[in-house]
Structure 1
């Protein structure tokens, strides 16, 4: 089969590799119908710090079950499934506490197991990892389902990890796919006012359709002043940092209301001032999203039409041309790229 292989920073190729097979009785083999490119993948291609080092790439995929191990009970050949970006055993203490992202037997696709940017994937702990989708592989809602594998689950986690007061104000720092999905999650959670910090007109339009009510296109102190002025100097009840760079972390802290929360879901590459958190009673929350916990409810929401995160995908490439998808996201001419095998 064909798969995206990262040989070294800047050297991504599509090559023929052995077809995946059942290695453990709890495995399944999934034929990929659609995959995604993530900002984490871009960091790996650029050689920046992060989990993605190669050789296999991709942790977001939707596909059809082609084979199952002898211990798999909940899946059948032919089922359409979506996978969270991490696999997990579903039985350990972390999994039973609702944080399968901390499963000691688990790991990340494209890092600790086959990558999803391929024609097929071996999925460990298939029953505990994969979620069935009551649709067919040609369903128009498939991009929305694919968005649940990572970015929409991550946005959902940002909101779920903080207690919002009635009529809450939420600020989302970053207009990438995670930021946009955080806006959609904030609307889903009942936030009354949602500020989106970003500078890309097309992404802000998507944010508006997702429920953003206010937009901040300035940066630094000027951006902080815009939100604080708009809230009468109070700030936001919850600030979602969907970027992770130090400038975004600084903005999140500056615009958070005293007694509010900052949700770190952008993979922080900097730090927060803990003394400031202490003095201002700011709760730091978020973390690596336990996507598998949220997937069943989110799948129902997409299939029922209650949410549609598919607009985060604004570019489609074939697997053979996946390097063009990486280039489009790196150049910010695409928000998020969907890959068809």
Structure 2
């Protein structure tokens, strides 16, 4: 089968690799039909993460079950399934607390594990990880595209909104106009926010943010952005969604948060480890978030997607086939795409 393999900064290749095989009785083999390239994939693509040549890529995918292990009870051959970006056993202490990304036996697609930017994948802990997509949407291409972002970016944006305590009537600020930030806007709107301020600089992305529910826009950065948000809100936003992960974005998040408010941080940290605890302490600002337990959120979000209450598919603005994955990485790295969908 074909799979995407990492070799170094700016170098991902689609190669022929051995077909996946059942290795444990809890495994399933899934033929991938859809995958994505994630903004977080650009960290290793740019050489900023410690990735090893030969590792597989892709943590966002869905497909059709081809084979199941002897202990798989919830799925059968032919089922269409959606996978969160992390696999989990569904049985440990943390899975029981809906914190599947801390599963004692879990892990993440790609790297040393099978990746989703491929023709097939060995799905570990199938019963604890996979989510079945209703048969009624089996051949509905538009609906499948709406569902695909639940694998990561929509669930992560929702995690930011929940962590920041977004509630009906609240004022929310979202930092970052990538796919996660845009989905954070959609999540905040879904939770009833009355005012959503998007901090971003790209017109095409801000247009999507407006469609998702953003009401105000700030294109400046750092201290200027902090001043503008403070002035327009008369003291800061009650809920701030930090969806970038840099030192600048975290400083901005703390600077625009209203006293007594909360920051939901979901941007993968790259230089943001030093934070202004003094302001957080003095203003009673709460910081919550981290890697999103997408498996916990997918069922409720899937209900709303199927009911046409939310449609995150607008973030998928470029489509490639499996052979076009390297071009998709380049397009995202050059900011010619918000998020690339891989149609396998």
Q: Report the TM-score range of the alignment, normalised by the length of the smaller protein.
A: over 0.9
Are the structure 2 counterparts of residues 310 and 63 from structure 1 closer, same or farther at C-alpha, using a change threshold of 3 Å? same
Gaps of 5+ in 1: none
User: Secondary structure of 1:20's match?
Assistant: coil
Note the alpha carbon deviations across 1:191-234, whole angstroms, 9 max, x for none: 110000001100000000000000111112221122111112x1
Structure 2 matches for 1:153-172, cutoff 5 A? 153-164=155-166, 166-172=168-174
User: Secondary structure of 1:148's match?
Assistant: helix
TM-score (norm 2): 0.96
Q: Using the alignment, how far apart are the partners of 2:207 and 2:17 within structure 1?
A: 41
Partner of 1:223: 225
Q: Using the alignment, how far apart are the partners of 2:312 and 2:54 within structure 1?
A: 28
Q: Using the alignment, how far apart are the partners of 2:145 and 2:263 within structure 1?
A: 29
Using the TM superposition, give the Cα deviation of residue 139 of structure 1 relative to its aligned residue in structure 2, in angstroms: 2.9
Partner of 1:183: 185
Structure 2 matches for 1:7-18, cutoff 5 A? 7-18=7-18
Are the structure 2 counterparts of residues 163 and 42 from structure 1 closer, same or farther at C-alpha, using a change threshold of 3 Å? closer
Q: Any conservation in 2 of the 1:216–1:226 contact (CA below 8 Å)?
A: yes
Q: Using the alignment, how far apart are the partners of 2:305 and 2:50 within structure 1?
A: 30
Does 1:244 find its partner at 2:245?
yes
TM-score (norm 1): 0.97
Partner of 2:43: 43
Q: Any conservation in 1 of the 2:6–2:52 contact (CA below 8 Å)?
A: no
Partner of 1:128: 128
Note the alpha carbon deviations across 1:100-119, whole angstroms, 9 max, x for none: 01001000000342000000
Are the structure 2 counterparts of residues 53 and 221 from structure 1 closer, same or farther at C-alpha, using a change threshold of 3 Å? farther
Using the TM superposition, give the Cα deviation of residue 50 of structure 1 relative to its aligned residue in structure 2, in angstroms: 6.2
Structure 2 matches for 1:1-341, cutoff 5 A? 1-49=1-49, 55-134=55-134, 135-164=137-166, 166-232=168-234, 234-269=235-270, 270=272, 271-341=274-344
Using the TM superposition, give the Cα deviation of residue 163 of structure 1 relative to its aligned residue in structure 2, in angstroms: 2.8
Gaps of 5+ in 2: none
Are the structure 2 counterparts of residues 51 and 162 from structure 1 closer, same or farther at C-alpha, using a change threshold of 3 Å? farther
Note the alpha carbon deviations across 1:43-70, whole angstroms, 9 max, x for none: 1111102678751000000101111001
Q: Using the alignment, how far apart are the partners of 1:298 and 1:51 within structure 2?
A: 32
Superposition RMSD in Å: 1.3
Are the structure 2 counterparts of residues 96 and 216 from structure 1 closer, same or farther at C-alpha, using a change threshold of 3 Å? same
Using the TM superposition, give the Cα deviation of residue 175 of structure 1 relative to its aligned residue in structure 2, in angstroms: 0.2
Q: Any conservation in 2 of the 1:31–1:65 contact (CA below 8 Å)?
A: yes
